[in-house]
Amino acid sequence: MCTSGSSDHATSSSRRITQNIPLQRAFLLLIGLVFGCIATRWMYSSDCSGNSDEVIKAKAAASARLRFGDREPTIFSKIVDKSLPADIIHEDDLCVAFQSNNPLAPVHFLIVPKDPIPALEMADDDDTQLLGHMMNVARKTAVKEGLDNGYRVVINDGPDGAQSVYHLHIHVMGGRQMGWPPG
Protein backbone atom coordinates (compact mmCIF):
# COMPACT_ATOMS: atom_id res chain seq x y z
CA MET A 1 0.00 0.00 0.00
CA CYS A 2 2.79 2.30 0.81
CA THR A 3 4.27 1.76 -2.65
CA SER A 4 0.92 2.37 -4.34
CA GLY A 5 0.43 5.65 -2.45
CA SER A 6 3.96 6.75 -3.35
CA SER A 7 3.31 6.00 -7.00
CA ASP A 8 0.11 8.07 -6.97
CA HIS A 9 2.02 10.90 -5.34
CA ALA A 10 4.80 10.67 -7.94
CA THR A 11 2.26 10.67 -10.80
CA SER A 12 0.43 13.62 -9.29
CA SER A 13 3.71 15.49 -8.77
CA SER A 14 4.83 14.70 -12.30
CA ARG A 15 1.47 15.94 -13.65
CA ARG A 16 1.84 19.24 -11.73
CA ILE A 17 5.37 19.78 -13.08
CA THR A 18 4.23 19.03 -16.63
CA GLN A 19 1.29 21.40 -16.23
CA ASN A 20 3.62 24.11 -14.93
CA ILE A 21 6.03 23.94 -17.90
CA PRO A 22 3.95 26.44 -19.95
CA LEU A 23 3.88 28.73 -16.90
CA GLN A 24 7.63 28.38 -16.47
CA ARG A 25 8.20 29.18 -20.15
CA ALA A 26 5.87 32.17 -19.94
CA PHE A 27 7.70 33.40 -16.84
CA LEU A 28 11.10 33.04 -18.55
CA LEU A 29 9.75 34.81 -21.64
CA LEU A 30 8.45 37.64 -19.45
CA ILE A 31 11.81 37.94 -17.67
CA GLY A 32 13.55 38.02 -21.07
CA LEU A 33 11.21 40.72 -22.34
CA VAL A 34 11.73 42.85 -19.24
CA PHE A 35 15.52 42.59 -19.48
CA GLY A 36 15.33 43.16 -23.24
CA CYS A 37 13.27 46.32 -22.72
CA ILE A 38 15.66 47.58 -20.05
CA ALA A 39 18.69 46.89 -22.26
CA THR A 40 17.04 48.52 -25.28
CA ARG A 41 16.07 51.59 -23.26
CA TRP A 42 19.62 51.86 -21.92
CA MET A 43 21.11 51.56 -25.42
CA TYR A 44 18.76 54.14 -26.93
CA SER A 45 19.22 56.65 -24.14
CA SER A 46 23.01 56.46 -24.12
CA ASP A 47 24.83 59.36 -25.78
CA CYS A 48 27.92 57.21 -26.38
CA SER A 49 26.11 54.42 -28.24
CA GLY A 50 25.13 56.54 -31.24
CA ASN A 51 21.47 55.93 -30.45
CA SER A 52 20.54 59.22 -28.83
CA ASP A 53 17.07 60.71 -29.09
CA GLU A 54 18.28 62.83 -32.02
CA VAL A 55 19.37 59.71 -33.92
CA ILE A 56 16.00 58.08 -33.26
CA LYS A 57 14.24 61.24 -34.54
CA ALA A 58 16.53 61.30 -37.57
CA LYS A 59 15.69 57.72 -38.49
CA ALA A 60 11.97 58.41 -38.06
CA ALA A 61 12.20 61.55 -40.19
CA ALA A 62 14.10 59.68 -42.92
CA SER A 63 11.50 56.94 -42.90
CA ALA A 64 8.66 59.47 -43.10
CA ARG A 65 10.44 61.29 -45.91
CA LEU A 66 10.75 58.08 -47.92
CA ARG A 67 7.15 57.14 -47.24
CA PHE A 68 5.38 60.47 -47.64
CA GLY A 69 7.80 62.73 -49.51
CA ASP A 70 8.38 66.37 -48.59
CA ARG A 71 4.78 67.58 -48.73
CA GLU A 72 4.56 69.56 -45.53
CA PRO A 73 6.60 72.70 -44.90
CA THR A 74 9.42 72.07 -42.44
CA ILE A 75 9.85 73.94 -39.18
CA PHE A 76 12.64 75.86 -40.92
CA SER A 77 10.40 76.80 -43.86
CA LYS A 78 7.98 78.24 -41.33
CA ILE A 79 10.78 80.30 -39.77
CA VAL A 80 11.85 81.53 -43.22
CA ASP A 81 8.29 82.61 -44.12
CA LYS A 82 7.80 84.11 -40.62
CA SER A 83 4.79 81.94 -39.79
CA LEU A 84 6.82 80.60 -36.85
CA PRO A 85 8.67 83.04 -34.58
CA ALA A 86 12.42 82.78 -34.16
CA ASP A 87 15.29 84.90 -32.89
CA ILE A 88 16.66 85.82 -36.33
CA ILE A 89 20.23 87.12 -36.19
CA HIS A 90 20.91 87.37 -39.95
CA GLU A 91 18.76 87.50 -43.06
CA ASP A 92 19.52 88.18 -46.71
CA ASP A 93 18.09 87.18 -50.09
CA LEU A 94 19.47 83.64 -49.88
CA CYS A 95 19.38 82.50 -46.27
CA VAL A 96 18.31 83.09 -42.68
CA ALA A 97 20.32 82.55 -39.48
CA PHE A 98 18.55 82.17 -36.13
CA GLN A 99 19.26 81.06 -32.57
CA SER A 100 18.69 77.37 -31.85
CA ASN A 101 15.68 76.63 -29.68
CA ASN A 102 17.59 73.60 -28.37
CA PRO A 103 21.13 74.95 -27.83
CA LEU A 104 23.95 72.44 -27.36
CA ALA A 105 26.51 75.13 -26.55
CA PRO A 106 26.43 78.64 -25.02
CA VAL A 107 26.18 79.98 -28.59
CA HIS A 108 24.26 77.80 -31.05
CA PHE A 109 22.62 79.12 -34.19
CA LEU A 110 21.45 77.65 -37.46
CA ILE A 111 21.63 78.86 -41.04
CA VAL A 112 19.01 77.70 -43.56
CA PRO A 113 18.54 78.51 -47.23
CA LYS A 114 15.33 80.33 -48.11
CA ASP A 115 14.74 77.94 -51.00
CA PRO A 116 14.81 74.59 -49.20
CA ILE A 117 17.16 71.82 -50.24
CA PRO A 118 16.08 68.73 -48.29
CA ALA A 119 19.63 67.51 -47.57
CA LEU A 120 23.21 68.23 -48.54
CA GLU A 121 23.23 65.00 -50.55
CA MET A 122 20.49 66.51 -52.74
CA ALA A 123 22.42 69.69 -53.54
CA ASP A 124 23.93 69.87 -57.00
CA ASP A 125 26.50 71.99 -58.81
CA ASP A 126 23.95 74.78 -59.29
CA ASP A 127 23.86 75.16 -55.49
CA THR A 128 27.61 75.79 -55.15
CA GLN A 129 27.25 79.57 -54.79
CA LEU A 130 24.45 79.19 -52.21
CA LEU A 131 26.45 76.67 -50.16
CA GLY A 132 29.52 78.92 -50.18
CA HIS A 133 27.35 81.89 -49.23
CA MET A 134 25.91 79.97 -46.26
CA MET A 135 29.42 79.09 -45.04
CA ASN A 136 30.42 82.75 -45.33
CA VAL A 137 27.30 83.75 -43.37
CA ALA A 138 28.33 81.19 -40.72
CA ARG A 139 31.76 82.86 -40.47
CA LYS A 140 30.42 86.42 -40.33
CA THR A 141 27.64 85.59 -37.87
CA ALA A 142 30.05 83.68 -35.60
CA VAL A 143 32.17 86.84 -35.38
CA LYS A 144 29.07 88.94 -34.71
CA GLU A 145 28.04 86.49 -31.94
CA GLY A 146 31.44 86.84 -30.25
CA LEU A 147 32.91 83.46 -31.15
CA ASP A 148 36.44 84.81 -31.46
CA ASN A 149 38.05 81.75 -29.86
CA GLY A 150 36.67 79.25 -32.40
CA TYR A 151 33.47 77.36 -33.10
CA ARG A 152 32.16 74.19 -34.68
CA VAL A 153 30.24 74.05 -37.97
CA VAL A 154 28.05 70.95 -38.45
CA ILE A 155 25.80 69.73 -41.24
CA ASN A 156 23.81 66.59 -40.45
CA ASP A 157 23.02 64.69 -43.66
CA GLY A 158 20.66 61.74 -43.89
CA PRO A 159 19.69 59.21 -41.25
CA ASP A 160 23.25 58.11 -40.40
CA GLY A 161 24.19 61.78 -40.04
CA ALA A 162 21.30 62.27 -37.57
CA GLN A 163 19.41 64.70 -39.82
CA SER A 164 16.00 65.15 -38.22
CA VAL A 165 14.69 68.09 -40.29
CA TYR A 166 14.84 67.65 -44.05
CA HIS A 167 15.66 71.24 -44.88
CA LEU A 168 19.42 71.73 -45.27
CA HIS A 169 20.80 73.60 -42.27
CA ILE A 170 24.16 74.47 -40.82
CA HIS A 171 24.69 74.39 -37.06
CA VAL A 172 27.27 76.81 -35.64
CA MET A 173 28.19 76.12 -32.01
CA GLY A 174 30.72 77.77 -29.73
CA GLY A 175 31.39 79.52 -26.47
CA ARG A 176 32.94 76.42 -24.87
CA GLN A 177 35.65 73.87 -25.59
CA MET A 178 34.32 71.28 -28.03
CA GLY A 179 35.25 67.63 -27.58
CA TRP A 180 36.79 65.30 -30.15
CA PRO A 181 35.77 63.09 -31.80
CA PRO A 182 32.38 64.73 -32.27
CA GLY A 183 30.38 61.61 -33.18
Select which of 9, 90, 167, 169 is catalytic. 169
Other CB atoms within 10 A of residue 52 CB: 15
Asked whether the beta carbons of 79 and 86 are under 8 A apart, the reply is: yes
SS3 43: helix
Q: Return the bridge partners of 90, or none.
A: 97
| Edge-to-edge order in the sheet of strand 88-91 | 88-91, 95-99, 107-113, 170-174, 151-154
Residue 7, burial from CB neighbour count under 10 angstroms (0-12, 13-18, 19+): exposed
Is 169 in the active site?
Answer: yes
Provide the annotated active-site residues: 169
